[in-house]
Structure 1
Amino acid sequence: MVLGGSFVFEAIGTRWQIDTAAPLEPGVRAAIAGLIEDYDALYSRFRSDSAVAALAAGGGRLELPAHGAALGRLYRRLYRLTDGSMSPLVGSVLEHQGYDAHYSFTPKGPPAPARSWDAVLDWEGPVVTASGPVTLDVGAAGKGQLVDLVGGLLTDAGHTEFLVDASGDMLHSGTTALTVGLEHPYDPARVIGTVQLRGRALCASASNRRAWGDGLHHVVDARTGTSVSTVVATWVLAADTMTADALATALFLAEPDVLAEEFAFDFVQVFSDGHARFSPTLNGALFVP
């Protein structure tokens, strides 16, 4: 990719970099900033003025934009495939563990599971209805969807060669493949391998990225209320970033063969005992330690 410029900024608590073959027009930059702000105002459980904060306060009905329907369908499929381990209701688990709006990082008690989806939540199309207070957390797929929406803005503006990188959630468009290093889960200065990214999305999830105590990190099993200890890092290549992002989390909670029954993707998993596995069709390589 011959770059015409990079647009680098901070948003939703993370670093973004958008590289394009042709420079981004000011209007496109403004549209991207507005899109991200609107999405954050919907889904951030760290903002008291967000739409999900209203659900946490008293439940009720929330009408999302059209893209909310796709997010709900994806979560419902993965809730089923993981037997309830991956759930948008995991926000209450994270808050209980200390990953709350005040970043207290102090657990409030022994692990507690999330509530059952069917007991409290209805998500039909773009409409979410909660029968009582619920803390939604769509972070396992939401940032990926937001990257896709930004990519859609770029495409609509006539850009065909670009890379959107939201701190590791990446969407590539163009004919020239990029070689991307896979960060070592225990040493950010090293890589454990590389993959080729061309016209697809690549997302990663790692237990070391948002950890705040012994055995406490952001990838939790909604059925048990505990952080996953067997898998420490995953990478997924898929056609869109929302799917890649969600599957990177789902691979902490389900076997790849189970997910492959309904999704097309390539993956790498690293386990806490040091071994790794990857899909046979992966266009990349892992390094021998």
Structure 2
Amino acid sequence: MAPPDDAGRSAGAARPAVWRFDAIGTRWQIDTPAPLDARARVAVLGVIAEFDRQWSRFRSDSLVAALAGGAEAVPAPPDASAMLDAFDALSAATAGAVNPLVGASLEAHGYDAGYRLVDRGAAPAPANWQDVLSWDGGMLRLTEPAVLDVGALGKGRLVDRVAEALEPWTRDGLVVDASGDMVVRGGPHRIGLEHPYDARRAIGVVEVTDAALCASATNRRSWGEGLHHVLDARTGEPVRTIAATWAIAPASQPSPAMRADAIATALFFDGGPQLAAQWRVEWVRMSTDGRVEWSPGSTAELFA
């Protein structure tokens, strides 16, 4: 499979049909036993375009941009409850380190819609984010100015949505890979765990069958000295202790890629392993000093 930009890399044999395209600022690859017809491709691109119009903080016409621009409420997208309920669990598990209102914190460090990449310093996210943001009654509401960013789990949710859209055409299995956040139906597939400091190397290999695997690393979406996309919402500062994470959720779970993506984010903080155990998600993580940890019963083959 194509090398991803979020620290996971497939080492398995290619499927007979491969569709590659770019969307939401990342590289996608969908592997299927037979080529996808035009209807399937239109369905996939439609799901991605709709999700982007709703949740992107990089688009001036998105619902997130409308909220950031001063709208007190916008219609809640279909994914709102699933994603924001998961953020509730993430926030509780990490003592507030993961927070969906971290968008302004990222913008303060230069990761904004204009990609100015000019660091203006740390800006902690609202600690009481559940009081600021609500998602009931079919509406998203803010009680004070804030910037919503669902990057902690949003790409995983979209991968789930794409896999669901392809169900009528992929009864015999598929792989949806959005640059390291992937769903595997069928299998097995051997996935290399890319070394965060050397893309030519892997720290191990894991075999994935009917599951989702999501990865995150501080060397992806990084800019400036020590600046990257994984922030501690409590301080607004980039994480310094963990370099890369990988999480695997079985396909039997609801939204497995969203759950795996969420755990891949939570593993940058204390409390992440405990939430992974609660959600029955397997994991591996590497610290910035090179130490590697893994979940009890992990099936990953890790290299010395």
TM-score by structure 2 length? 0.90
Residues 201-222 of structure 1: per-residue CA shift (max 9 Å, x gap): 0010000001112221100000
Q: Provide the residue aligned with 1:223 in structure 2.
A: 234
Residues 6-45 of structure 1: per-residue CA shift (max 9 Å, x gap): 1110000000000011221110101101110110011111
For 1:104, give the aligned amino acid: R
1:277 pairs, out of 285, 288, 293, with 293
C-alpha spacing 1:251/1:18, structure 2 compared with 1 (3 Å): same
Structure 1 contact 184–190 (Cα < 8 Å) conserved = yes
Q: Provide the residue aligned with 1:210 in structure 2.
A: 221
Q: Provide the residue aligned with 1:27 in structure 2.
A: 39
2:149 pairs, out of 137, 152, 155, with 137
- Alignment RMSD (CA, Å): 1.5
Q: Provide the residue aligned with 2:9 in structure 1.
A: none
Larger mean Cα displacement after TM superposition, 155-164 or 267-276: 155-164
For 1:6, give the aligned amino acid: V
Gaps of 5+ in 1: none
Instruction: Please show how residues 150-161 of structure 1 align to structure 2 within 5 Å.
Output: 150-161=162-173
Structure 2 Cα separation of the partners of residues 73 and 189 of structure 1? 37
C-alpha spacing 1:72/1:171, structure 2 compared with 1 (3 Å): same
Q: How far off its partner does 1:125 sit?
A: 6.9
Residues 137-192 of structure 1: per-residue CA shift (max 9 Å, x gap): 00111110000001001113353310000000010001x31111010010001111
Q: Provide the residue aligned with 1:17 in structure 2.
A: 29
Q: Provide the residue aligned with 1:268 in structure 2.
A: 284
With CA pairs under 8 Å and 6+ residues apart, which has the higher RCO, 1 or 2?
2
Paired residues, number? 286
Structure 2 Cα separation of the partners of residues 107 and 101 of structure 1? 14
C-alpha spacing 1:261/1:71, structure 2 compared with 1 (3 Å): same
Structure 1 contact 148–242 (Cα < 8 Å) conserved = yes
Instruction: Please show how residues 116-265 of structure 1 align to structure 2 within 5 Å.
Output: 116-124=128-136, 127-174=139-186, 176-239=187-250, 240-260=256-276, 262-265=278-281
Structure 1 Cα separation of the partners of residues 88 and 147 of structure 2? 16
Q: Provide the residue aligned with 2:110 in structure 1.
A: 98
Q: How far off its partner does 1:127 sit?
A: 2.9
Residue 170 of structure 1 aligns to a residue whose secondary structure is strand
Structure 2 Cα separation of the partners of residues 228 and 41 of structure 1? 29
Percent of residue pairs identical: 47
Residues 99-158 of structure 1: per-residue CA shift (max 9 Å, x gap): 11111111123x121012134111237531111322100011111000000100111335
Structure 2 Cα separation of the partners of residues 163 and 135 of structure 1? 33
Structure 1 contact 185–206 (Cα < 8 Å) conserved = yes
Larger mean Cα displacement after TM superposition, 240-249 or 100-109: 100-109
Residue 22 of structure 2 aligns to a residue whose secondary structure is strand
Structure 1 contact 59–131 (Cα < 8 Å) conserved = no
Gaps of 5+ in 2: 1-12, 251-255
Structure 2 Cα separation of the partners of residues 254 and 59 of structure 1? 35
Structure 1 Cα separation of the partners of residues 145 and 61 of structure 2? 15
Q: Provide the residue aligned with 2:4 in structure 1.
A: none
Structure 1 contact 61–129 (Cα < 8 Å) conserved = yes
